[in-house]
Amino acid sequence: MLNRFLAATFALTLAFSPANGDDTGKNEQARQMFESLFTPPGQLPVQDLVAEGEELEAQGAAGHLTTAAKAKYYFKAPNFLRFDRVNLDPKQPFVGMLKVIIRDGDSYHIFLTHNYPTKSGIDPQVAPDSIPFCLTRYKKDASREFYYLGSEAWKDITVHRVQILNPADPNWTCVVWIDYQKRVPVQAEYTAASDKPGGKPGKKRVVWSDVRQLPDGRYFPYQAQIFVDEKLREMRVYKGVRINVGLDNSLFRVIPELEPNH
């Protein structure tokens, strides 16, 4: 029994240690490290997620964070998303009203005070910052390439850096810092598309913290800070996180009736 335990421990160490020699090629070890996010040993991968959240945005020249919205987030693998948001910013229109956003990988629909979409379009197929990086999967993500960049100290823990490239989306690159012991990301730096047509991509950085253990044993970060070109622009604060609760697909379809108190 001891020999089997030592052999398994040795194999795990090799699997998530930097490769010897030339480490410039695609690295399956890095892929496995990324794919095991939010999935500790003995647990099923995340198939769906429900969380409540508070969204804060930087205001004014000083960039003070103020509450912009209350939200409830729904995710179902591989790319179903639904956000129920109530705007709390008095400077924005429709304050206090519920806005529902639904994405299914092909299209999006936005509902506002009515039971029919006020806006629809093609799903941008970009994972939102509203849920931790990166649970959503699109067809183009199948071509991702992973590279192990080594380990480093992060506060009082050791984290592993994984670089992700995607030939199907050449303007997108990412480096994610992973706490492999808890299987959570602690930081990601990636290119962000410009808000202006033809503009240069910006740099976005997301830092996750306040990592807590859920009842099923897996860990989840309850806070996210979002920096754009190194300026803090937004923050997410979560509560009531539940994973693998069995969400029905109907939750992500066009809504026949929009209940204000959903």
Residue 40 is assigned to a structural domain of this protein:
no
Q: What does the pLDDT look like over 147-182, one tens digit per residue?
A: 999 999 998 899 999 999 999 888 889 999 999 999
Quick one: CA torsion of 94, 97, 98, 101, rounded to 10 degrees?
Answer: 0
Q: What is the mean pLDDT of residues 205-227?
A: 95
Q: Rounded to whole angstroms, how far apart are CA atoms 192 and 234? A: 15
Q: Name the token pair of 88.
A: 């709390």
Q: Is residue 152 part of a domain?
A: yes
Residue 36 lies in a domain: no
31 in any annotated domain: no
Side-chain-side CA neighbours of 75 within 13 Å: the count stands at 25
Would residue 116 count as lying in a domain? yes
Confidence class of residue 10 from pLDDT cuts 50, 70 and 90?
Answer: very low
Q: Are 49 and 241 in contact (CB under 8 A)?
A: yes
228 part of a folded domain: yes
Q: Is residue 67 part of a domain?
A: yes
- Please provide the DSSP assignment of 220-232 as one string: EEEEEEEEETTEE
Is 139 domain-assigned? yes
CATH code, domain with 51: 2.50.20.10
Higher model confidence: residue 123 or residue 115?
A: 123
pLDDT digits (tens, 9 = 90+) for 95-112: 788 889 999 999 999 988
Highest mean pLDDT among 18-27, 129-138, 250-259: 129-138
Number of domains in the chain: 1
Residue 194 has pLDDT above 70, yes or no: no
- Which amino acid is residue 52, in one-letter code? E
24/168 Cα distance (integer angstroms): 20
- Burial (CB < 10 A; 0-12, 13-18, 19+), residue 156, is exposed
> Which residues constitute the domain of residue 87?
46-123+134-252
Interval 231-259 mean pLDDT? 85
